[in-house]
Amino acid sequence: MEVIQSFTIDHTHLKPGIYVSRVDKGFTTFDLRITEPNKEPAVAPAAIHSIEHLMATWFRNSRAKEDVVYVGPMGCLTGMYIIMTGEYTVEDMRQLTMECLEWILTQDEVPATRPEACGNYLLHDLPMCKWECARYLDRLKNDFHCEYTKLQITLEDGKVFADA
């Protein structure tokens, strides 16, 4: 099995921000990195589940709604994936995400938290969701990162192999 592209990124130097992790077949995968991997606590499962419901609701009602393919949490619980069609830059996604986070901070409930609408409807935590969103919003505004640190491996013959 080949090592997939996202596992070659050096996650020990990855700062919270927004990254393009893949561009293929007209789809762009944006990594919305909320916490610093392996350095800060990951987002709690209930909080990221609430982020998913709220973020998906906002993006699918936004001016970009026709281009939103997928919104979902990372398995490592350090961020969200958003897959878009069309031409979106990291800066476009930063603006959209900041608007989304501002909206989340005004919400008093998580949408679709009924057993008919959600596979684990008790696993929600709006206060922690808002805490994470407030911190992420501050980071997008004041300490924004969007460039991957490439993983570099120096081979025995001295050649440097880099990938990201």
Report, in Å, the least distance between residue 22 CB and Zn ion. Answer: 24
Report, in Å, the least distance between residue 65 CB and Zn ion. Answer: 19
Q: Give the DSSP letter string of the chain.
A: -PPPGGGGS-GGGPPSEEEEEEEETTEEEEEEE-S-TTTSPPPPHHHHHHHHHHHHHHHTTSTTGGGEEEEEE-TTSSEEEEEEES---HHHHHHHHHHHHHHHTT-SS-TT-STTT-TTTT---HHHHHHHHHHHHHHHHHS----PPPEEEE-TTSPEEEE-
Scan residues 68-87 and list those touching Zn ion (CB under 5 A): none
Report, in Å, the least distance between residue 49 CB and Zn ion. Answer: 6
Q: How many C-alpha atoms does 133 have within 13 Å on its Cβ side?
A: 26
Candidate ranges 24-32, 68-76, 86-94, 110-118; the one touching Zn ion (CB under 5 A): 110-118
Residue with smallest beta-carbon separation from Zn ion: 118
Nearer to Zn ion, 46 or 118 (CB): 118
User: Can you tell me the distance from the alpha carbon of 34 to that of 77, in angstroms, rounded to the nearest whole number?
Assistant: 9
Report, in Å, the least distance between residue 95 CB and Zn ion. Answer: 26
Nearer to Zn ion, 128 or 151 (CB): 128
Nearer to Zn ion, 118 or 164 (CB): 118
State yes or no: residue 46 binds Zn ion (CB under 5 A). Answer: no
Report, in Å, the least distance between residue 50 CB and Zn ion. Answer: 9
Nearer to Zn ion, 53 or 130 (CB): 53
State yes or no: residue 118 binds Zn ion (CB under 5 A). Answer: yes
User: Can you tell me the distance from the alpha carbon of 88 to that of 84, in angstroms, rounded to the nearest whole number?
Assistant: 8
How many chain residues touch Zn ion (CB under 5 A)? Answer: 1
Residues near Zn ion (CB under 5 A): 118
